[in-house]
Structure 1
C-alpha cells in the first residue's frame, strides 16, 4: 500500500485529489494538510511514502515545504501538484528534491501514474512540463555536454548503465529486471550515482544522462 499525505489550501482540490487517488486500491491518503507547515508536521508524524504538495499555500509554500522535508524526512518522495508551470517553479522544485511535477489541469490518470512512479523510486513530470525541460536543455546543450560527460566518467560501468535507465524514466524495479539486479542493489547504485554526480534527485540525474548523451531526446 502506498501511503500519501496530501497538502493543498483549497478543500475542494483536496477532496478531488483524494477521490482520484481512491480509485486505485493500492494508494491510501493517510492525512490532509491545509498549508505547507502542517504538511511537514503530518509527514513527520505519519512517515508516508509520498507527499503531494501544492506550490502556493499559506504559512509555508510547497517549495519551501519540500526543502524542509528533504532534510527532515529524506526517504519521502515529493510530488508538486500545481496550476502553474513557470520555469522558475519547475527549476526550484527539482532543486528542492521533488521527484514529480504535475499540473492540476492534466489528465487525472497522471496523478496516479506519478504517485506510483515516485513511490517506486522513479520520477514523473507531466508531459507538458517534460517538453519544456527538454526544450530548455536544447539551449546551450553543447556547452554543457563536456561537463556532463566528465561527471559521468566518474561513475563505474555498472553505475553508467543504471544512470542511462534512470534517464529513460525507469523505476528501481524496472531497472532491476532489465539488469538482473535486486531492487535493493539498484537503490544502492542510484544513491551512489546521486552522490557522485552531486545532485539530489533522479530528475537531475536524468538531465545529466541526457546532456552526456546516454539518453536521446524523444526516448
Structure 2
C-alpha cells in the first residue's frame, strides 16, 4: 500500500544548497511528492558554517540534501557528521566529481552521494528509499568510495611529508605563492633580491618534487597545508587577488 501525502509530511526534508535554482527545483519536486520540505536560508551577509549547523539541527530533519560547496560558508562536508549524529540521513548532492571526496563524505556519515549532473529522479528515488527505511548504497559502491578516500589519504600523507621538509623561510614563501603573490612582490615585501626568492622557490620545487610554482601551490592546497613557520603570513590587501605568474 502506498503512502499518502500526510505520511510523507512527517518526513521532513531539509535542503542545504547555495544555488537557488537547483534548490528550488528540489523543493518543488519533493513538495509535489508530499514531503515536508524546507530550505536552509543562506544569508548574503553574516553567519558562519557553525550558524548553519545550529540552524539545521534545530529543524530536526529526517533527511538532509546537502551541497558540498556552500560559497562563502565553505565546505559543507563539515556538516555531515553532526547532522548524522543527530539522526538525520544525509544525502550529498554535489557537482564535485572527486571520488575520494565522495568517500570522505561517506566516511563522515553520509548515506549517499549523488552528482548534480545526474537525473533529478535519482535524488527523488533516494529520498523515497530513505523514507521507507531501505538501503540506498550497495556494499560494492561503499567499498569503492572508501577505497578512493583511503588511497587519497595515503597520497596526501606523502605530500605533507614533503611539505614538512621545507625550512621556515621556504614555508613563508610557499604561503605567499598560495596567496597569489609573484616572486617580485615577495622580494619587495621581504626586502631581498628577486634572485634570492628564485633560489628559495627552486629549493621548494625540488623538495616537493614538482616542476612549477603552480604545481607546488596545487600540491599544498590538495594536502590542506597551511604555513606554520615563525612569523605571520603576509597580508597585502592590494595584492590579494593577484594571480601567480608561472613564469616568475
TM-score (norm 1): 0.52
Q: Unpaired segments of 5 or more residues in structure 1?
A: 138-219
Structure 1 residues 64 and 42, CA gap change in structure 2 (3 angstroms): same
What does 1:1-12 align with in structure 2 at a 5 Å threshold?
1=8, 2-12=11-21
In structure 1, distance between residues paired with 2:136 and 2:119: 14
In the alignment, what sits opposite 2:103?
Answer: 91
Query: Which structure is larger by alpha-carbon Rg, 1 or 2?
Result: 2
In structure 2, distance between residues paired with 1:125 and 1:92: 15
In the alignment, what sits opposite 1:79?
Answer: 91
Aligned partner of 2:29 among 10, 20, 24: 20
Deviation at 1:124, TM superposition (A): 2.4
Contact 2:61 2:88 in 1 (8 A): yes
What does 1:1-219 align with in structure 2 at a 5 Å threshold?
1=8, 2-25=11-34, 27-34=35-42, 36-57=49-70, 58-71=72-85, 73=86, 75-125=87-137, 130=141, 133=144
Q: Unpaired segments of 5 or more residues in structure 2?
A: 1-7, 43-47, 149-248
TM-score (norm 2): 0.46
Moved more, 115-124 or 90-99: 115-124
In the alignment, what sits opposite 2:206?
Answer: none
In structure 1, distance between residues paired with 2:13 and 2:51: 14
In structure 2, distance between residues paired with 1:47 and 1:76: 8
Deviation at 1:85, TM superposition (A): 2.6
In structure 1, distance between residues paired with 2:56 and 2:68: 16
Residue 65 of structure 2 aligns to a residue in which SS?
Answer: strand
Deviation at 1:38, TM superposition (A): 4.7
In structure 1, distance between residues paired with 2:60 and 2:136: 21
Equivalent residue pairs, number: 132
RMSD, matched Cα: 3.0
Structure showing greater relative contact order (alpha-carbon pairs closer than 8 Å, 6 or more residues apart)? 1
